[in-house]
Amino acid sequence: MQHYRLWVRTSPSHTTYTYISAENDIAARQIGEAMFGRVNLLAFWRA
């Protein structure tokens, strides 16, 4: 498991970072999109 930092939009004027654990980059993107919606996941990085 690797740790990822997600940059997500919480409202039209606010963004935040959140951290998750995932097996790989594809899984991290899928988890982020499932949690916040496809258009609200702005970026993600390995933490």
pLDDT at 17: 97
The answer to whether the predicted template modeling score (pTM) of the entire model surpasses 0.85 is: yes
pLDDT at 3: 98
pLDDT one-digit tens code per residue, 6-46: 999 999 999 999 999 999 999 999 999 999 999 999 999 99
pLDDT at 20: 97
CA distance 32 to 25: 11
pLDDT at 18: 97
